Amino acid sequence: MNNETLLKNLRNVPDFPIKGIQFKDVSTLFKNPECINIMVDELYEMYKDKGITKVVGIESRGFVIGAILAYKLGAGFVMCRKPGKLPADTKKVSYKKEYGTDTIEIHTDAINEDDVVLLHDDLLATGGSMAAAYNLVQAFNPKKAYINFIIELTIEGLNGRAAFSEDTDITTLIKI
């Protein structure tokens, strides 16, 4: 895809959160109505015929486009959050990060076996958080699950797609 308008509006923040990292800041895409329209329209075209019944947004940047896309697809929206943020019973999964572990949760009544799920987040780098979210969604036994990111970093050493099996359906709007 690599839409020129999206690339032109994507902010790069050097040395954030630590020295040597070139942080890709999607907030500049979110504040621009043309960019929001491009992202949502492109994603809608990708997924409009897939029978999506739920869009799962990964905390927190995945909530922005995920919720808009759910509306446009006529699907429900499910929040995948850090522990203690969801008020009812949850399923959870813990996963390893570069330093330590983290946990994510989804309400136990959020997804069922009749659902076709699209998981959405802003960025694919190492794939750890999305792989955990994908495994969590799979625990609900949906009919099908797709994964989407706004940005995929193809920088040597990251290889986020390696966190998933080869048959996992993953799409991105921008590859950098």
pLDDT digits (tens, 9 = 90+) for 44-94: 999 999 999 999 999 999 999 999 999 999 999 999 999 999 999 999 999
pLDDT value, residue 84? 95
* Burial group, residue 98, by CB count within 10 angstroms (0-12, 13-18, 19+): exposed
Residue ranges of domains in the chain: 50-175
Q: Which of 4, 45, 98, 113 is an active site residue?
A: 98
Mean pLDDT, residues 95-107: 87
Go through the chain and tell me how many residues it has.
176
CB 119 within 8 A of CB 148: yes
pLDDT value, residue 26? 96
pLDDT value, residue 158? 82
DSSP reduced 3-state for 61: coil
Closest by alpha carbon to 63, among 125, 135, 133, 1? 133
pLDDT value, residue 20? 86
CB 123 within 8 A of CB 153: yes
Report the C-alpha gap between 61 and 129 in whole angstroms. Answer: 13
Mean pLDDT, residues 161-176: 94
Active site residue 61: yes
Q: Which of 23-32, 68-77, 96-105, 161-170 has the weakest average pLDDT?
A: 96-105
pLDDT value, residue 30? 97
Active site residue 59: no
pLDDT value, residue 159? 86
DSSP reduced 3-state for 4: helix
Beta carbons within 8 Å of 73's beta carbon, 6+ residues apart: 44, 47, 48, 52, 55, 118
pLDDT, tens only, 129-163: 999 999 999 999 999 999 999 999 998 778 899 99
Q: Which of 61, 81, 105, 152 is an active site residue?
A: 61
pLDDT value, residue 98? 67
In this structure, which long-range contacts are made by residues 86-93, counting pairs with CB atoms below 8 Å and at least 24 apart in sequence? 91/136, 91/139, 91/140, 92/136, 93/132, 93/133, 93/135, 93/136, 93/139
Specify whether the backbone of 16 is left (phi greater than 0), alpha (psi in -120 to 50) or beta.
beta
Mean pLDDT, residues 99-117: 94
Residue 168 has pLDDT above 70, yes or no: yes
pLDDT value, residue 72? 98
| Residue 88, token pair as written in the block | 């009812």
Q: For the domain bounded by 50-175, which CATH number is listed? A: 3.40.50.2020
